[in-house]
């Protein structure tokens, strides 16, 4: 399998399949720092990144926003002092698609930049 962060998001329509339970288990192993909470019955991917101050969290938030625009897949970003929480899910299918895992892996890779 190709490393998730090397893959590209594919266009996703409302009839695209959500990841199966088996796929979820496999894909979660590739992004071990992420959680998969369910909110109002919608499975999502979420990770909290911690930083030394607001400015560093803000700078990382900007990187994630740029990535989202490049891939045309947009997360919920919650910026706080010293912390950024990133939440990915696919609105069109009201759940998780492989794109969300690709974006989570790409988000993690931004820490190395």
Over residues 27-49, the pLDDT tens digits come to 999 999 999 999 999 999 999 99
Helix or strand (DSSP H, E) at 78: strand 76-80
Mean pLDDT, range 15-26, rounded to an integer: 93
Task: Indicate yes or no: pTM above 0.85.
Answer: yes
**What's residue 32's pLDDT?**
96
CATH number of 30-91+103-113: 3.30.1360.20
Res 1 pLDDT > 60: no
CA distance 29 to 79: 26
Q: Stretch 72-89: mean pLDDT, rounded?
A: 97
Q: How confident is the model at residue 2 (pLDDT cuts 50, 70, 90)?
A: low
Cross-strand partners of 50: 83
């Amino acid at each position: 399998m190709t490393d998730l962060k090397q893959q590209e998001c594919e266009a996703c329509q409302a009839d695209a399949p959500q990841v199966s339970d088996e796929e979820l288990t496999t894909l979660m192993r590739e992004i071990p720092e992420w959680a998969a909470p369910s909110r109002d019955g919608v499975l999502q991917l979420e990770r909290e990144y911690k930083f030394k101050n607001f400015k560093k969290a803000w700078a990382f938030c900007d990187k994630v926003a740029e990535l989202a625009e490049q891939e045309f897949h947009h997360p919920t970003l919650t910026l706080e002092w010293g912390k950024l929480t990133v939440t990915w899910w696919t609105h069109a299918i009201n759940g998780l698609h492989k794109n969300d895992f690709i974006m989570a892996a790409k988000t993690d890779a931004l820490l190395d930049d």
